């Protein structure tokens, strides 16, 4: 673990094997990622009972620890992690009462709104926030209220929602303590370092990429930045004297821009006309689909031919790829391993499939990609291991 970084590229590091030591680096790439905002950053009034946790913490409890954080859930914030956890908690048997979002639009991808909320009829309350928490030992309810255009709660709009769990999905913050320690110039808008076109910060030979630079919507963009930054750092080491050192500036790459406009997320049925969100890719095209007797008549709003196929499948046989975890045993030790179906499962069979998955116990070792269950539920679908477990 790096515990200190200077602008001269001297790192203080600690490890169990070698203890405390220093590294004088020729180049440094900052790639510390980001962390979730907590209740402390929000200043929500109320008591301090158990049952309040970030969506990422709940994700770890379920997917790695095999524990259910609660049974009646309210989620504050409609970021992608919160939306995914709304679906995950529902599939595990919890009742997600609602997702509250302080902004007039969601912070998550449109396809996640469609798959994680609309699929399970979970309400999304825009321009709402949590203004109070009730409970002593365990959270008993939250108080929500509508907010005005200045994001301030509106009086007499309060509503008490009974729950035993509050999940916070209220944004991510670049992990920039080391960046600040190295006296690197930060961007007030992104909370990350300012960099030039070579991804170098204001400190000579120190580069930054990924979520520590600014929070990305898709991991694909993080990967692209990582490749670019690695090449720049290698070029700097080889040709430090000739390396182009252009001024740093605010660089935001590949932001989707959807958060700047209000997107229509609800699914509207009128006669045989349906407005649906295609979930094939992150573009999440909103399509108007006309059908009659489960036969596709027309599609508008799609940006590629895959949208037509999705609309046809959604009308006749809606399906979803199912992801979950199964128990892996190794002697007396129990672990949890991510799994997914190699083909989409019929939408109306998802809860039945989850019950079957929860019964599965596999003996280690298992390799990523191994088929754990052939012809799952006699559907022609296989259940596939998501990682190696020794």
* Spatial distance between the Cα atoms of 196 and 209, rounded to a whole number of angstroms: 11
Q: Residue 389 — φ and ψ, nearest 5°?
A: -135, 120
**Helix, strand and coil in the chain, % to nearest 5:** 25, 35, 40
162 found inside a domain: yes
pLDDT for 263 = 34
299 and 221 within one domain? no
- What pTM value is reported for the model? 0.77
Question: H or E segment at 225?
Answer: helix 219-238
Q: Residue 379 — φ and ψ, nearest 5°?
A: -110, -5
* Spatial distance between the Cα atoms of 69 and 62, rounded to a whole number of angstroms: 8
63 found inside a domain: yes
Range of the domain at 73: 38-170
Domain containing residue 68: CATH number: 3.50.50.60
157 and 10 within one domain? no
59 found inside a domain: yes
Q: How many CB atoms lie within 10 A of CB 193?
A: 30
Domain containing residue 359: CATH number: 3.10.530.10
186 and 164 within one domain? no
366 and 330 within one domain? yes
219 and 162 within one domain? no
Boundary residue ending a domain (316, 346, 375): 316
334 and 303 within one domain? no
Burial class (CB in 10 A: 0-12, 13-18, 19+), 269: exposed
Q: Say how many domains are in the chain.
A: 4
205 and 122 within one domain? no
243 found inside a domain: no
For residue 41, the 8-state DSSP code is: H
* Spatial distance between the Cα atoms of 108 and 258, rounded to a whole number of angstroms: 9
159 found inside a domain: yes
Boundary residue ending a domain (189, 221, 238): 238
pLDDT for 96 = 96
255 found inside a domain: no
Boundary residue ending a domain (170, 204, 221): 170
* Spatial distance between the Cα atoms of 359 and 74, rounded to a whole number of angstroms: 28
24 found inside a domain: yes
pLDDT for 64 = 85
95 Cβ neighbours under 8 A, 6+ residues apart: 71, 72, 73
pLDDT for 251 = 55
Which residue ranges in the chain fall short of pLDDT 50? Answer: 253-271
250 found inside a domain: no
């Amino acid at each position: 673990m790096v515990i200190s970084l200077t602008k001269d590229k001297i790192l203080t590091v600690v490890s169990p094997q070698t203890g405390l030591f220093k590294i004088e680096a020729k180049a440094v790439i900052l790639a510390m990622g980001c962390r979730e905002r907590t209740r402390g950053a929000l200043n929500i009034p109320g008591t301090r009972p158990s049952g309040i946790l970030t969506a990422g913490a709940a994700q770890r409890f379920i997917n790695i620890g095999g524990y259910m954080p609660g049974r009646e859930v309210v989620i504050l914030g409609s970021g992608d992690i919160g939306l995914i956890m709304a679906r995950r908690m529902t599939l595990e048997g919890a009742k997600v009462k609602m997702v509250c979002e302080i902004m007039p639009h969601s912070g998550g991808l449109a396809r996640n709104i469609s798959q994680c909320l609309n699929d399970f009829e979970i309400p999304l309350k825009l321009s709402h926030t949590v203004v109070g928490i009730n409970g002593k030992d365990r959270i008993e309810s939250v108080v929500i209220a509508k907010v005005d255009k200045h994001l301030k709660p509106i009086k007499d709009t309060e509503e008490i929602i009974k729950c035993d769990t509050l999940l916070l999905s209220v944004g991510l913050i670049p992990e920039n303590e080391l960046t600040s320690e190295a006296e690197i110039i930060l961007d007030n808008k992104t909370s990350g370092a300012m960099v030039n076109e070579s991804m170098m910060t204001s400190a000579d030979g120190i580069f930054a990429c990924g979520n520590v630079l600014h929070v990305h919507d898709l991991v694909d963009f993080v990967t692209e930045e990582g490749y670019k930054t690695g090449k720049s750092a290698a070029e700097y080491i080889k040709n430090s004297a000739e390396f182009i050192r252009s001024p740093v500036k605010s660089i935001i790459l590949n932001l989707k821009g959807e958060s700047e406009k209000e997107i229509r997320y609800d699914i509207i049925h009128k006669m045989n006309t349906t407005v649906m969100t295609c979930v094939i890719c992150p573009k999440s095209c909103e399509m108007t689909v006309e059908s009659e007797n489960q036969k596709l008549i027309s599609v508008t709003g799609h940006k590629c031919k895959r949208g037509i196929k999705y609309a046809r499948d959604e009308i006749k046989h809606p399906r979803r790829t199912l992801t979950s975890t199964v128990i892996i045993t190794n002697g007396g030790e129990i672990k949890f391993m991510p799994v997914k179906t190699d083909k989409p499962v019929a939408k109306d069979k998802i809860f039945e499939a989850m019950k079957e998955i929860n019964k599965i116990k596999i003996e280690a070792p298992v390799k990523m990609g191994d088929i754990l269950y052939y012809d799952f539920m006699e559907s022609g679908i296989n259940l596939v291991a998501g990682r190696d477990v020794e």
